[in-house]
Structure 1
Amino acid sequence: MPIHELKEQIARLPEQPGVYLYFNVGGDTIYVGKARALRDRVRNYLGAYGSDPKTDALLDEVVRLEVIVTRTT
């Protein structure tokens, strides 16, 4: 997924806590993370793009992003 498309999708993410999953072109889950604020956490990846080769490699593979909103107690 081009970075500009990922940015558009991130802008629509909820600020709620939850789990986020990155998928590659084959439909495989390539990363699972958790966050107290989904939009902020996933947006942090874009801030690191271009400065961290490991993050760049991950984001270059992402073709789909899914989130699961969870409740906190």
Structure 2
Amino acid sequence: MADLLGVDAAKACGLVRAGRFPCRVTKEKGKGKYVVLPADVLVAMGLDDPIVRIADLQAGAEFARRWD
């Protein structure tokens, strides 16, 4: 998700630890992984409608497959 916000993945952890990541982040218990909600990422990207629709996700995934 960091790349969607224009944040280098290597710097994302440091930003999270410093409390400077551009959206809300939680840490999974016992796994050492950070989690962000897609709605929070959309809001941080400045999108007015943070509702994630399955059809939009599927269309985006299909579009991305064309470039793989």
- Name the structure with the higher helix share: 2
Pick the structure with greater CA Rg. Answer: 2
TM over 0.5: no
Instruction: Please give the TM-score of this superposition, normalised by the length of structure 1.
Output: 0.27
Instruction: Please give the TM-score of this superposition, normalised by the length of structure 2.
Output: 0.28
